[in-house]
Amino acid sequence: MVPPWLQDLLFKYRSSIANVFVLHFNVGDYAGPDNRLVRDVIIQDFMEQQGSRRIIAIYNRAEGLTFPRPGMREEFIRSLTGEAVAGEEVKLPVSPGQAFALLDKLLYSTEPCGVIIEQAETILPTEDLAGMDQEELRALTFLKKWAADTRLSRRGSPVVMMTQSLTELHPHLRMASTKIESILIPLPDGNERRAYIEAMVTKRQVASELDVNELANATAGLSRILMEDIGLRAEASGSPITIEFVRERKESLIRAEFGDVLEITEPRFDFSSLGGLTEAKLFAAKNIVAPLKTGNFRRVPLGVLLTGPSGTGKSAFFYALVAEAGVNGVKLNLGKILGPYVGLSEQNLEKALLGIESLAPCLVLIDEIDQIFQRGSGGDSGVQQRLFARMLDFMSNPHNRGKIVFIAATNRPDLMDPALKRPGRFDRKIPFLLPGYAQRVAILQAVQQRYQIPGGASWEEGARLTEGYTGAELESVVLKAWELAEDRGHGQLAPEDVAGALERIRPSTAQVQFMTDLAVLECDDKDVLPPEFQDWLDKRRELEERVAIFKATHRF
């Protein structure tokens, strides 16, 4: 089966849309049914099958000019000199300017040929023309010439550049006017991972505690080569592949690939271990979990904004939702994207977005979005403005509906840009507020169950005495009670331990009322509000006045 990216390349080449191409992202992976490297697929399925090319030249900055088949080096030299000379007797240049000059002669020779340029970002990095040396400038000039010359297309002599990150390539090669076509090579999707794993397990007879489907889901976001790495390590250790082994290895591989920008989340609990939050759970079950499982993607929101005071369970809700939906979960650390060099921030963001796409279907958490996602100002040379615009464009892409759901958390939605909060990016805003009595009972019980704390303590009295506590503070009460029980040598939670914890743990979350007012003001749907807060939406002017007075009398 021909990979979709190769179909795209063949179509654009045969249609004479372009003769110079940039393949980017997953260029170092296996591809095709027989697990050849991407470069080999380009040589065999594009350059050799699509024409009788006697010479295919490969260039990278480390090795200079090399050739994939015996005799091609000698044929290359003969085509340039007109003489039959032993290939070893002629030393070919390594520097890009001199090597590209020879490739130029090859491309304009009478015989059709092919050129592959590996690690193109090391030859033509993203920097100002003034910062480029003469060799790089010559290489850039040749590439622009080849892209603009329609004669090369008629000759049947294509040029293919390969780079891991398109944004690391010189901007002149990314402009539409240059007639250079960029083609994304994605990470394998679920079906491709499944097929590769089946072949790997059969060929290598690797033992696994997971079936093929479970292993395919667990390896989302990995290339075939990295999946092979997991199989080889399991084979070398003589141990079967376990979910813990995959998670540990995947975490280190994702960190190496994306740095700290993307963090894979492996949920350890679901909604049953999360007390309270009845309305939020019901909304998620009806509009995210069920539609994702049944394929009713039109109902799935592009994004959901979680608002409310700190400690009310916004992040915990995300992790439980990932478990309920049975899809991949990833945390996008926008604060780690900004880099010290020109263009690095944009490169980091593009790489992260490609990673998110490769994990689809997935839920993406952006925590404290009000602090790290701003338009920026002219003082940063427009970097934050460009990042902001790119994120807005990605988040509102309708093709992502049902594939990528952004879940953002904030306790200050008033600080967010209105363009970010609008429907089509965050379709729903769900307030996470202080729990009522029944919810406090449920939270206290759920925390005891989640931590597997033994004992038959009744939490009704504890719930009555903890009005005004957030979910996080209620969790502290339970853990403190167990701490006291252990200190007294008890093997189970006793009523006196609970009473002691209530004496010691006091609510300390700041500006709770203010953040509650902001959360309710942001909400536009009574169905996602707890019953005791639903009539607040009818008192909008009163809430706005209270918020305005608080802002006027407090310094932030």
Q: Mind listing the domains of the chain with CATH numbers?
A: 4-185 (3.40.50), 190-258 (1.10.8), 265-431 (3.40.50.300)
Q: pLDDT tens for residues 270-325?
A: 998 888 899 999 999 999 999 999 999 999 999 999 999 999 999 999 999 999 99
Task: Report the largest interatomic distance among the alpha carbons of the chain, rounded to a whole angstrom.
Answer: 98
> Is residue 319 exposed (0-12), middle (13-18) or buried (19+ Cβ within 10 Å)?
buried
Residue 346 tokens read as 């944009």
Closest listed residue to residue 466, CA positions, set 492, 493, 411, 504: 504
pLDDT cut 70: percent of the chain above it: 96
Q: pLDDT tens for residues 394-453?
A: 999 999 999 999 999 999 999 998 888 888 899 999 999 999 999 999 999 999 988 888
User: Given this model, what pLDDT does residue 480 score?
Assistant: 93
- pTM, two decimals, is 0.78
Q: What is the pLDDT along the chain (556 residues), one digit of tens a residue?
A: 788 999 999 999 999 999 999 999 899 999 877 889 999 999 999 998 866 778 999 999 999 999 999 989 999 998 887 766 655 667 899 999 999 999 999 999 878 999 999 999 999 988 888 888 899 999 999 999 999 998 888 888 999 999 988 878 888 888 777 789 999 898 888 888 889 998 888 777 788 888 888 888 888 888 999 999 998 888 888 888 988 888 888 878 777 777 778 888 878 889 988 888 999 999 999 999 999 999 999 999 999 999 999 999 999 999 999 999 988 899 998 878 876 555 678 878 888 898 888 888 899 999 888 877 777 655 556 778 888 889 999 999 999 999 999 999 999 999 998 888 888 899 999 999 999 999 999 999 999 988 888 887 788 988 999 999 999 999 999 999 999 988 888 778 888 888 899 999 998 888 999 999 999 999 988 899 998 888 888 888 999 999 999 989 987 6
**Direct distance between the N- and C-terminal alpha carbons of the chain, in angstroms, rounded to an integer:** 59
CA 417-422-427 angle, to 5 degrees, is: 130
Residue 284 tokens read as 């998620």
User: Given this model, what pLDDT does residue 510 score?
Assistant: 85
Q: Please check whether residue 62 is in contact with residue 99, taking contact to mean a CB–CB distance below 8 angstroms.
A: no
